[in-house]
Every structure is written in structure tokens, then in C-alpha cells.
Amino acid sequence: MKVLVPVKRVIDYNVKVRVKADGSGVDLANVKMSMNPFDEISVEQAIRLKEAGQADEVVVVSIGVKQAQETLRTALAMGADRAILVVASDDVHNDIEPLAVAKILKAIVDEEQPGLVLTGKQAIDNDMNATGQMLSALLGWSQGAFASDINIDGDSAVVTREVDGGLQTIKVSMPTVITVDLRLNEPRYASLPNIMKAKKKPLDEKTAADYGVDVSNRLEIVKTVEPEERAAGIKVGSVDELVEKLKEAGAV
């Protein structure tokens, strides 16, 4: 079975986000970029499937600017076999929307015929939480969203999902799209020899036009602002004072 894993290049999760003065978005120029943390989990899961003999090839794909090549090399260094880069924008500030990404991924799935697509549940930049579900819809496949456990057995997979109030387990028919949640695994770090080896792994470069997909955005960005600051409160000196303040405020 071939596993396809889409990965997104996003602002590193440790970087403090700054809104651009013109309100067009968040400043991404000269900012450290990394693989979306949820996508690291899906790459890790795909590699584990290969190590367990359940997958025979892991193909990673990234859609965005040319610099996403670095993100793909990271995935190759973790253990993916080959990569596809789809250049869909030359502006780092242009975020390709999930619907367009899902359409390109569908075209790649039609070509590559994977038995499983593993995506992160959301990207930490636009927080849309949509690409995996949208791809599943366009393919007419089953979906297992927010997975914390995956067991593939022949033509079906048992997926445990993180839902409000607890866990839900469902059985999905293969092929399927599974989106992964935090607790599924802990991604490995790439070792130096593997980073060197990754440089020689195949990376195909394509464009959105190669797949005939219109990547123009459906959502027009009107403005982007910093969230309202919360007014700083006071420090209390003791539990007694805290109880008194809470009673004054009518909170208890």
C-alpha cells in the first residue's frame, strides 16, 4: 500500500506572530518556518506503517511556495521515500485555501493511487481544519477525522477519534483519508545521516496548472487585526484576599 502525506510549511509554532501594519495578514518575511506540527504526526504515522510492513511507499506532497521544498526535505529526512512539490504561489503571504489544496491533492491521488492519505487535522496558521475532510469528499472516500489511534486491517481501518466529551471509534472502508490529532504519536527527529540521505531522495516539482486547478482564493481578506488585549488585573496577597475579591465580583 502506498501512503500519501500532505505537509504544509507554516510559521514555526514557537514564533510570536505579528500582524502586518497594513492589515493584510501576518508577517511571514524573515520568520522561521517549519512543518505544521500536525503534519509531522501524519508523516511519523506513515513511516511507522512502513516499518510495520503495512505500507510499502510513503509519498509526501506540499502545495504552496517553492520554499516548501525545505519542508519536504524534512519529511524525507524523517523517512518518507519521495516528494512532490506543487508550486501554486510565488508569494509567501498567499495562503492557498483548503478547497484548492484538496482539489490538487485529488488530482495527485488519481495519479498515484495511494491506499491511504494521512493529513494533519489542521494547519496552525489558518486553523481551518478542513483539507482532509474536503479531500475525502472530492474522492468520495470514507473519512476518519481527528485520529488518536489507527488500526488498518485489509480493506478496512478502525479509527479512534478525539471528539467532544471523549473518544469515538469507527470502522472506515479503505481507501480512506485520515486526519491525525495530537495524541496519535510523537514524531521522531531526523538524524544527521538521514538528513544527508534525504538530499538525494527524489523530489518532483509541479505547478497547480499541471493539475488544471484554479487556486484563486474564494475568501477575500478584508482585514487582519491583533486580538483585543485583556486589561491587566491585580495580584492578591493571600487566599483570604482572593476569596474576598471573588465575592465582591459576584463570582462565587
Query: Closest distance between other proteins and the C-beta of residue 72, in Å?
Result: 23
Query: Closest distance between other proteins and the C-beta of residue 65, in Å?
Result: 18
Query: Closest distance between other proteins and the C-beta of residue 145, in Å?
Result: 5
How far apart CA 103 and CA 178 sit, in angstroms, is: 17
Cβ-based nearer residue to other proteins, 200 or 223: 223
Q: Where does 82-181 have alpha helices with state H? A: 98-112, 131-139
Cβ-based nearer residue to other proteins, 209 or 221: 221
Asked if residues 210 and 90 have their Cβ atoms less than 8 Å apart, the reply is no
Query: Closest distance between other proteins and the C-beta of residue 73, in Å?
Result: 25
Nearest C-alpha neighbor of 154 from the set 115, 110, 180: 115
Return phi, psi of residue 126, to 5°: -90, -10
Cβ-based nearer residue to other proteins, 79 or 132: 132
Cβ-based nearer residue to other proteins, 158 or 203: 158
Query: Closest distance between other proteins and the C-beta of residue 48, in Å?
Result: 19
How far apart CA 5 and CA 120 sit, in angstroms, is: 9
How far apart CA 50 and CA 178 sit, in angstroms, is: 16
Asked if residues 63 and 104 have their Cβ atoms less than 8 Å apart, the reply is yes
Query: Closest distance between other proteins and the C-beta of residue 31, in Å?
Result: 12
Query: Closest distance between other proteins and the C-beta of residue 147, in Å?
Result: 11
Return phi, psi of residue 147, to 5°: -75, 135
Pairing of strands 116-120, 176-180: parallel
Beta-carbon contacts of residue 7 (< 8 Å; ≥ 6 apart): 35, 36, 39, 42, 43, 60, 61, 62, 68, 71, 72, 75, 120
How far apart CA 96 and CA 189 sit, in angstroms, is: 28
Cβ-based nearer residue to other proteins, 98 or 114: 98
Cβ-based nearer residue to other proteins, 67 or 224: 224
Cβ-based nearer residue to other proteins, 77 or 141: 141
How far apart CA 228 and CA 243 sit, in angstroms, is: 28
